[in-house]
Structure 1
């Protein structure tokens, strides 16, 4: 399978994960209910990497307190003032940076910025990029320093 196909399937999984995390943040919907809901839609998860979606959603929700602690020092506003979409995107990327070392940091941040352009406020992607760039320097210092 080509890298682009794998990436696009993972990109779709990330997009669905952001939508599910938004529901979790706003309505406190349990991950199991969201996974069932997404699978019961006529198109299901479509071409998205379903196992990756499930892993990301469950992982982010389980690790949310720790991921939040990683993010807070890099925020320019209180956590409760974050837009829920931006919050979901930041949590998702923080999870990938911390727990998915096989995903290059630049890919994780770029995917998050693209999601912020799609779902976030007009200039929200700039905020997301700034926070995640700082986080990457903390969490993946060696990888960032090597220019990879």
Structure 2
């Protein structure tokens, strides 16, 4: 993945675009392959689009594994009952934590919390932070 070659703003936009694609995929399978308005408006760079496409593909390929990890750390709800936004923010962060070595742990968690503040409900960021704190205990040696 090109995560190491992208600027910080490009990575942030790529994560947000990935969240949008995963959200759309919840309602229409295969929709992640379609360009979203944000891509057509030029708000995401070419490298951001490539990063997002790679990250989205990896998450969808590993969705069962990611959901299994998340389920072990969500004590109140199974992953299927989480909001689509929270669930996909967690999938992005767990993918980065477990499979993408070039993303530091603090960055993956901080970016997830920031997306939860921006796109989630009032307390989503607290929930995401708590779940990821528990996930880190499991997957980071």
Q: What's the TM-score, normalizing by structure 2? A: 0.86
Task: Give 1:43 shift.
Answer: 1.8
* Deviation of the 1:80 alpha carbon: 2.3
Q: How does 1:1-148 map to 2 (within 5 A)?
A: 6-33=7-34, 36-37=35-36, 41-43=40-42, 45-46=44-45, 49-76=48-75, 77-141=77-141
User: CA 1:47–1:11 in 2, change beyond 3 Å: closer, same or farther?
Assistant: farther
Rg larger in structure = 1
TM-score for both structures, normalised by structure 1 = 0.82
| SS of 1:122 mapped into structure 2 | coil
Contact 2:109–2:132 (8 Å) recurs in 1? yes
Deviations 1:76-131 (A, max 9, x none): 21222200000110111111111111110110010000000000000111000111
Separation in 1 of the partners of 2:125 and 2:68? 21
> Which residue number in structure 2 is paired with residue 145 of structure 1?
none
Gaps of 5+ in 2: none
Aligned length: 136
**Distance change in 2, residues 1:121/1:47 (3 Å):** farther
State the Cα RMSD in Å.
2.1
